[in-house]
Structure 1
Amino acid sequence: MKTKSMTLGLMMALLMTGATFAQQNSGNTSSGTTNMVGKESKTEFDNQNKKGAAAVSAVSATSSKLSSADQSLMMEVAKGGMMQLMVSRIAAQQASSPEVRQFAQAEVDEQTGLSAKLQEIASAKGVTLPSEPDAETQTMVTKLQGMSGASLDKMYIQESGVKGHEKLDKVMSKVESSASDASLKGIGKAAHPLVKTHLKVAQQINGKM
């Protein structure tokens, strides 16, 4: 009886250890998700994205006219955002890494919200934003569409995740420091923290590749 009891105890211990190990090492591959995005937990990453989206949504659109300098800044934000949105849509669907897909989807969500707010502000001020991608954006979109697997993941993270966010980081810094219009400056202050977060996380993912 003692031997049988010890055997049952050992089996239960092994089962529990196996379950714990599986939980710790599972990326939830059945659902195509991972518990980490870069070095951030998925929960923390999601929370930062929600906070950023709420900040952008809360910016008020005023009807005061933009100066030519502010119009140029708005166009820079719109151009960079459109590129990020278009290439991230592709990566969210076609990336092979669950981590890259999650990052790309967060970027799609961010840029969709930012684009909607920019359009709201532009409409209030009588400004027409670009409706079509520029040549640089179209070239990258075409290139990504022809890729797959790890090569797509790597290009997306390096070109959009890192380099794209480095450009957006500079643009948002310029908006915060130079824009005279309250709505446009508000966009810079609201969106810049999440741009910095996405740049950091992209650098972390890139470091794993």
Structure 2
Amino acid sequence: MKTNAIAIGVLMSLSVASLSIAQQNSAGMNSSSTTMVGKESLQEFDSQNKKGAAAVSAVSPTNAKLSSADQSLMMEVAKGGMMQLEVSKIAQQKATNPEVRQLAQAEVDEQTSLSAKLKEIAQAKGVTLPETPDAETQAMITKLQEMSGAELDRMYVMESGVKGHEKLNKVMSKVESSASDTNLKGLAKAAHPLVKTHLKVAEQINNKL
């Protein structure tokens, strides 16, 4: 009888422990599934980023020559994208707020993809894009490198997340409405929805900081 009682006690202890582990795992899963970036769930934010990347990747370059006006538009896209990419690399490494890091990571992914496709289009058309940051971008890089903590988080979200995307939003609208080259117009159309998403999320994060 004593042996049976001990066995039953051990089984009950194991059952309680298993239940506790299951509850902890469930809580962890629920916590992960409700991680937010601005007002978007991380899962939805990731889904929108992947959809945007696929749309950009689907643009197929042609060797049709660009007009001088279209070349100017291409340079605007390249300049804005390079600034977003370079400052986001810094925020990706140094940001302390998890949502800011998620935004920076998404921006690095977006601009890396956009830059690669823009370069592919430019090469097909015989256009040389700038390979180094301009003075404005370099000044922003230097400023962010000197910052840390909440100060860096706020600076990045306002300057890159909000103001940078407001500029890109205008550039993409201009390209969609006035570019004559189908590749350039198609690239803007593919990338614009994600630019708008990142602007919206950046505004939401900025309101939290």
Match of 1:44 in 2: 44
Match of 1:159 in 2: 159
Q: How far apart, in 1, do the equivalents of 2:112 and 2:126 lie?
A: 21
Match of 1:76 in 2: 76
* Structure number, greater radius of gyration: 2
Q: How far apart, in 2, do the equivalents of 1:184 and 1:65 lie?
A: 11
Q: Is 1:141 paired with 2:141?
A: yes
Q: Which runs of 4+ in 1 moved over 3 A?
A: 18-28
- 1:92-149 CA-to-partner distances (Å, cap 9, x unmatched) read 1110011111110000000000000000000000000011111100000000001110
Match of 2:188 in 1: 188
Q: Is 1:202 paired with 2:198?
A: no
Q: How far apart, in 2, do the equivalents of 1:116 and 1:157 lie?
A: 24
Normalized against structure 2, the TM-score is what? 0.86
Match of 1:31 in 2: none
Q: How far apart, in 2, do the equivalents of 1:25 and 1:52 lie?
A: 27
Normalized against structure 1, the TM-score is what? 0.86
Matches within 5 A, 1:5-24: 19=24, 23=28
Secondary structure of the residue that 1:129 maps to in structure 2? coil
Q: Is 1:108 paired with 2:93?
A: no
C-alpha deviation, 1:23, in angstroms: 4.4
Aligned-residue identity in percent: 76
What stretches of structure 2 of length at least 5 have no aligned partner? 1-12
Matches within 5 A, 1:25-104: 26=31, 35-104=35-104
Aligned pairs, number: 193
C-alpha deviation, 1:26, in angstroms: 5.0
RMSD of the alignment, in Å? 2.2
C-alpha deviation, 1:195, in angstroms: 0.2
